[in-house]
């Protein structure tokens, strides 16, 4: 079942983006989005799919762990040092 104009408006508002940003992300002209938002044109399946993807990306970014700061050169060396101090025993055949 295709989105109604009111549902499209609500989803764009929930994303927290302007109509101009929404048109750009959806690959529409501002005028084309305006027509979909006001019921002059049917909301396309492509628009629904892209909105789903934008929402999914935002959800994944919210749930993502914060990135660790890059290690300094000495810290990288210290982290790799044990493998040189305690090499694995040679494998027997």
Condensed to tens digits (0 to 9), the pLDDT of residues 10-45 reads 999 999 999 999 999 999 999 999 999 999 999 999
The first and second tokens of residue 37, run together, are 């938002």
Model pLDDT for residues 38-76, shown as the tens digit of each residue:
999 999 999 999 999 999 999 998 887 777 777 677 676
Start-to-end CA distance of the chain, whole Å, equals: 64
* Residue 27: strand, helix, or coil: coil
Q: Are 27 and 73 in contact (CB under 8 A)?
A: no
Alpha helix ranges (H) inside 16-72: 19-26, 30-37, 45-63
Confidence (pTM): 0.64
Q: How many Cβ atoms are within 10 Å of 8's Cβ, its own excluded?
A: 22
């Amino acid at each position: 079942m295709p989105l109604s104009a009111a549902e499209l408006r609500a989803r764009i508002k929930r994303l927290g983006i302007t109509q101009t940003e929404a048109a750009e992300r959806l690959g529409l002209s501002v005028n084309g989005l305006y027509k979909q938002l006001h019921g002059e044109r049917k909301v396309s399946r492509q628009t629904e799919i892209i909105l789903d993807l934008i929402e999914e990306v935002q959800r994944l970014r919210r749930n993502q762990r914060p990135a660790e700061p890059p290690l300094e050169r000495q810290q990288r060396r210290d982290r790799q040092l044990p493998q040189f101090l305690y090499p694995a025993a040679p494998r027997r055949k």
